[in-house]
Amino acid sequence: MMEVESKFRSPGNDRVEKALGKLGAELVCEEETEDVYFQHPNRDFGKTDEALRLRKKDGVSELTYKGPRMRMEHTKAREEVTLRTEDPLTVQRIVERLGFKEFMSVHKKRKNFKYDKIRIAVDAVDDLGEYVELELITEEPKRAEALIEQVRGELALTDFEPRTYLELILDMNARNEKK
Angle at 47 between CA 172 and CA 57, to 5 degrees: 60
Do the Cβ atoms of 44 and 68 come closer than 8 Å? Answer: no
pLDDT in tens, 100-148: 999 999 999 999 999 989 999 999 999 999 999 999 999 888 889 999 9
Q: What's residue 158's pLDDT?
A: 95
Q: Please tell me which residue in 37, 115, 131, 165 is annotated as part of the active site.
A: 37
Domain locations in the chain as residue ranges: 2-178
Q: Look up the CATH number of domain 2-178.
A: 2.40.320.10
Instruction: Please report, for residues 83, 100, 136, the alpha-carbon distance to residue 173 in angstroms, rounded to integers and kept in the order given.
Output: 30, 22, 30
Please state, rounded to an integer, the average pLDDT across all residues of the chain: 94
Model confidence at 58: pLDDT above 90 = no
| C-alpha span between 105 and 55 (Å, rounded) | 9
| pTM > 0.75 | yes
Phi, psi of 58 (to 5 degrees): 40, 45
Q: What's residue 71's pLDDT?
A: 79
User: In which band, very low, low, confident or very high, does the pLDDT at 179 lie, cut at 50, 70 and 90?
Assistant: confident
131 flagged as catalytic: no
Model confidence at 171: pLDDT above 80 = yes
